[in-house]
């Protein structure tokens, strides 16, 4: 996979002593760089699947579904059967089960001292369709990155980007619960983009690689304007991953590896270029400031919608099929125009606090 890296455009052949068959491939990745064995991303996939099985076991639809008019789906699975499709069309558990297991919920994070939900929500999924879409994307994106940069850096990007997506989502979505690994996956996409930019000089076919990545990212972000999709988690994860790519995914500049075998006066003097260090410093400052401001605003109970009156359009663009709802100036919602409030909702003891699934899809 690393030797046929179409999205990244390949690296330049650096040594004229290599056989013609190796460096003539326009997507050739030099063999002098260590290629890692991917094991962390497969473990992440297993962990997400395991958490979904646990969620379905806890959900126990045959016992807990009180709506006799809409029975459980796939009853042959026993307590692992799915909620009625009118309640959860993605073949998954109820919103109350997801809430119990650690779904992202603003009220409990801020007023219930449950900040751990910022992390646990990225390991939960709303249904089989949601899980499959995200895990396929994780395999295709994550394994390639782990092979090239190792499990430590890719693991850090995944987790920190997931946290960034959760923070931004909590600032703008206050009465819905949100689950899914899409913020972390968008972080990996963002890191791929910044990695291409910061290591620009070592790649061939740069324009094609950049155009391909931008199109992929744009399509995925466009999906976020659909109802019940948490695009703020996507955007937060993408921005965090984009900044982390400048910090963690630097490659040596062109010719540095081979120049170590040359006389001292012929060597490339620096492993990285000046602009790589400048981008690293700028990204580090923005990352620290962004997380600090975001966490302070979140735990002070600040509402992001009051500081940015147009930001709700990032997650919902009104059309004839769905509309934007802004109840009491406290929360952004994107609902189908014919939305029935009895669907996808779970009311708790707090007044005026309906919980809806806010699925954070990632287009595979």
Torsion angle defined by CA atoms of residues 61, 233, 153 and 24, in that order, rounded to the nearest 10 degrees: 100
Other CB atoms within a 10 A radius of the CB of residue 216 amount to: 16
Contacts of 212 (CB under 8 A, 6+ apart): 6, 7
pLDDT tens profile 187-234: 999 999 999 999 988 888 888 989 999 999 999 888 888 777 889 999
Dist CA 57 CA 12 (whole Å): 51
- Other CB atoms within a 10 A radius of the CB of residue 35 amount to 13
Q: Rounded to whole angstroms, how far apart are CA atoms 163 and 85?
A: 30
pLDDT at residue 8 in the model: 37
Regarding predicted confidence, which is higher, 152 or 254?
152
Cβ–Cβ contacts within 10 Å for residue 221, how many? 17
- Residue 256's pLDDT is what? 62
Given a contact cutoff of 8 angstroms between Cβ atoms, the answer to whether 231 and 315 are in contact is yes
Residue 158 makes CB contacts below 8 A (sequence gap 6+) with: 44, 142, 184, 187, 188
Average pLDDT over residues 251-263: 66
Task: Report strand pairing: 345-346 vs 355-359.
Answer: antiparallel
pLDDT higher than threshold 50 for residue 358: no
Give 62's DSSP letter: H
Sheet with 355-359: strands ordered across:
177-179, 355-359, 345-346
Query: Which pLDDT score, from 0 to 100, does residue 87 have?
Result: 87
The top-scoring range by mean pLDDT among 173-187, 301-315, 333-347, 348-362 is 173-187
Alpha-carbon distance of 187 to 166, in angstroms, equals: 12
Task: Give pLDDT tens digits for 320-351.
Answer: 555 555 544 444 455 555 544 433 333 232 32
How much of the chain exceeds pLDDT 70, in percent? Answer: 73
Catalytic residue annotation = 182, 234
Rg (alpha carbons) of the chain, rounded to whole number = 23
- Measured between alpha carbons, how far is 231 from 233 in angstroms, rounded to an integer? 5
Sign, CA dihedral 40-45-50-55, equals positive
Query: Phi, psi at residue 323, to the nearest 5°?
Result: -140, 160
As beta bridge partners, residue 63 has: none
Which among 65, 167, 77 is positioned nearest to 128, based on CA atoms? 77
Choose the most confident range, by mean pLDDT, from 25-39, 108-122, 302-316. Answer: 108-122
- pTM listed for this prediction: 0.81
What is the rounded average pLDDT for all residues in the chain?
80
Q: What pLDDT is stored for residue 148 in this prediction?
A: 93
Percent of the chain whose predicted confidence (pLDDT) is above 90? 55
Distance (Å) of CA 184 to CA 44, 151, 256: 11, 15, 32
From the list 136, 139, 185, the residue with the least C-alpha distance to 158 is 185
Smallest Cα–Cα separation from 361: which of 71, 126, 193?
A: 126
């Amino acid at each position: 996979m690393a030797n046929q890296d179409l999205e990244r455009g390949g690296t330049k052949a650096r040594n004229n002593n290599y056989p013609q068959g190796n460096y003539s491939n326009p997507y050739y990745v030099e063999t002098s760089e260590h290629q890692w064995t991917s094991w962390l991303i497969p473990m992440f996939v297993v962990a997400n699947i395991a958490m979904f099985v646990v969620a379905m076991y806890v959900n126990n639809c045959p016992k807990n579904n009180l709506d006799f008019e809409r029975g459980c789906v796939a009853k042959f699975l026993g307590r692992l059967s799915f909620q009625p499709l009118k309640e959860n069309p993605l073949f998954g558990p109820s919103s109350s089960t997801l809430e119990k297991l650690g779904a992202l919920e603003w009220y409990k994070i801020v007023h219930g001292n449950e900040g751990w939900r910022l992390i646990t929500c990225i390991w939960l999924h709303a249904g089989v369709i949601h899980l499959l879409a995200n895990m396929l994307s994780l395999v295709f994106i994550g394994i390639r990155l782990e092979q090239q940069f190792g499990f430590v850096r890719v693991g850090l990007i995944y987790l920190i980007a997931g946290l960034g997506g959760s923070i931004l989502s909590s600032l703008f979505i206050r009465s819905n619960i949100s689950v899914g690994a899409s913020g972390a996956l968008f972080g990996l996409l963002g890191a791929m983009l910044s990695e291409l930019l910061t290591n620009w000089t070592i790649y061939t076919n740069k324009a094609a690689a950049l155009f391909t990545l931008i199109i992929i990212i744009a399509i995925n972000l466009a999906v976020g304007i659909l109802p019940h999709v948490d695009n703020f988690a996507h955007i937060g994860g993408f921005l965090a991953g984009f900044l982390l790519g400048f910090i963690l995914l630097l490659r040596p500049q062109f010719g540095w590896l081979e120049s170590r075998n040359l006389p001292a006066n012929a060597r490339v003097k620096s492993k990285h270029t000046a602009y790589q260090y400048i981008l690293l410093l700028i990204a580090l400052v923005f990352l620290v400031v962004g997380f600090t401001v975001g966490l302070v605003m979140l735990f002070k109970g600040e509402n992001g919608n009051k500081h940015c009156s147009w930001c709700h359009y990032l997650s919902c663009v009104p059309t004839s099929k769905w509309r934007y709802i802004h109840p009491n100036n406290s929360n952004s919602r994107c609902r189908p125009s014919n939305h029935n409030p009895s669907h996808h909702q779970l009311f708790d003891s707090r007044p005026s606090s309906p919980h809806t699934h806010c699925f954070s899809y990632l287009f595979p």
